[in-house]
Amino acid sequence: MDICLKDVGIVCNIGQSKQTVLKSLIDGNANALVKDTNLPLTESQFVGRVALNLDDKSKAFSSSNSSRNNQLAYYAFKQIEQSFNELAKGVDKKRIAVIIGTSTSGIAEGEDARKALAQNTQYPENFHYQTQEMIAPAHFIADLCQATGPVYSISTACSSSAKALVSAKALIEADIADIVIAGGVDSLARLTINGFKSLESVSTGQCAPFSQDRDGINIGEAAALFVMHSADSGIKLMGFGETSDAYHVSSPSPDGSGAISAMKLALGMAQIESKQVDYVNLHGTATVKNDEMESLAMHAVCGNDVFCGSTKGMTGHTLGAAGALEAAICWLLLSDLNSDNEIPANVGYEQQDSSLPEINLSQGQKMSSLKYCMSNSFAFGGNNLSLVLGK
């Protein structure tokens, strides 16, 4: 059974539509990560903040779902609403599912509410605890599209929303759902930024994936939602590979064995060889250890022949939304919107790290054709997932 990614909605710091995101990617937007002036942090950090006037006064938002996370998800959903409605005509709502990957949900609103409680001895009137439950964005999207089939969230750190796509594929193949809205959403919060700062994982400037001087990540926010169903045509989720390092809660296995296995499993399911892949969107967080491990894995699976790179030098690391966002980037590259078959440069890269295995980092090439893309998501807890998209 072929699983088609019929349409995608994207909201992130480099654009709020398919067209604007693709243009930023191809242009190599090196100025999208900016010093944060909105979150009262111990030290200001470069972040990937969505420059969008989010309006929570819409009828779509009640006190139980009014969060920045849901606002981002709302704007992503509006981009796919027409495609979804056309596909859903005559489909039983019980056969429509929603699976959303997230790691923050509405925790930023929880932070504000806790601060108000400390100052005023009571929570704000409009605060509802449900906004910060992990299931909140899935319930919110299900309400928007009136889905009454399986509705749930996945929270496995940075692989969360990549796993949402794999779970959607499983529901369709098991004949539990005909249509699945799957993807991810995460928004900026003090908890995540200060948490990564405490791990000494945050860059002192703009992140530089795979560079000699890389020193950590920049946190971003995003929403990316797919409409998925069974079809013979279109851009397809052709394969996936899921593995677990069982090595360390926050460090990847240095030998790259889990990542290597995930990539090989994805290629095997897609029934293609590594040399057939046109572009690999690397997890590429720009931390010292992740880039070491992933360079080793990429070299082991694809050698130095396949173009690859990290787009986190533009978007930042969007945590629970990263898997879906970067799969969406692959979708854009494969789509008719990318008529010149261009791939993005590995923005932030300046000087080669001679200690890393040699890989073919993209400088923004035009390809003769684009047929297959791979997207890697390697999360805390050694939770590895690789996706292969093709047309």
Residue 139 known to be catalytic: no
CA distance to 20, 91, 368, per residue, from 340 (Å): 16, 37, 8
Active-site residue identified among 12, 128, 317, 373:
317
Compute the chain's Rg from CA coordinates: 20
Active-site residue identified among 4, 12, 145, 158:
158
Residue 248 known to be catalytic: no
Dist. CA 228–CA 13, nearest whole Å:
24
List all residues 6 or more positions away from 296 whose beta carbon is below 8 Å from its beta carbon.
Answer: 255, 256, 356, 357
**Residue (of 320, 328, 357, 321) closest to 344 by Cα position:** 328
Residue 317 known to be catalytic: yes
Residue 316: how many other CB atoms lie within 10 Å? 32
Eight-class DSSP state of 367: P
Active-site residue identified among 283, 299, 302, 373:
283
> 3-class DSSP state for residue 41?
coil
What is the amino acid identity at position 105?
S
Dist. CA 45–CA 74, nearest whole Å:
27
Dist. CA 372–CA 388, nearest whole Å:
7
Which residues are marked as active site?
A: 158, 283, 317
